[in-house]
């Protein structure tokens, strides 16, 4: 399974640790930036990179890290076909996959420690969608009506 991972400067260090954790767990991980720590760099760029990569690579997943995870969640959800969820617990990650077919996990570097990030990400990536197709179809219908990427 391919996983695209990105972070802003607040999540930069944690991103490296999470990439190692996911690679060791057997996932194919692709780093989508930031590639160096630059104080004050925006969350938008890695969120755009991950969202477009997931959108263009059917079956792939994304993981984004920023301070609160709110910004990356909002940015990623601007893209058709992306269902990004901000999760701070294993349980919320499982529900995001099972009930909403989320394909991008957003994590807070401020509220979630590194060990728990790994646990949340692994739960998200191994959980299957339970078939709430009606809900996802409604999201997709809105995608078709809105004029965004």
The answer to whether 110 is a known catalytic residue is: no
Contacts of 143 (CB under 8 A, 6+ apart): 80, 81
> Which of the following is catalytic: 70, 99, 106, 110?
99
- The two three-digit tokens of residue 117, written as one number: 């990030």
Q: Residue 26: left if φ>0, alpha if ψ -120 to 50, beta else—which one?
A: left
Could you say which of 66, 70, 87, 110 is catalytic? 66
Is 87 labeled as catalytic in the residue annotation? no
Give the CA radius of gyration of the chain: 14
Active site residues: 66, 99
């Amino acid at each position: 399974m391919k996983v695209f991972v990105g972070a802003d400067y607040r999540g930069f260090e944690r991103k490296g640790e999470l990439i190692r954790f996911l690679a060791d767990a057997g996932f194919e991980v692709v780093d989508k930036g930031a590639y160096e720590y630059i104080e004050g760099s925006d969350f938008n760029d890695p969120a755009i990179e991950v969202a477009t990569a997931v959108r263009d690579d059917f079956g792939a997943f994304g993981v984004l890290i920023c301070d609160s995870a709110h910004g990356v969640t909002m940015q990623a959800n601007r893209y058709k076909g992306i269902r990004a969820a901000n999760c701070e617990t294993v349980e919320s990650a499982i529900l995001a996959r099972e009930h909403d077919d989320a394909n991008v996990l957003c994590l807070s570097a401020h509220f979630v420690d590194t060990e728990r990030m790994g646990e949340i990400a692994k739960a998200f990536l191994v959980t299957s969608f339970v078939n709430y197709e009606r809900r996802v179809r409604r999201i997709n219908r809105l995608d078709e009506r809105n004029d965004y990427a």
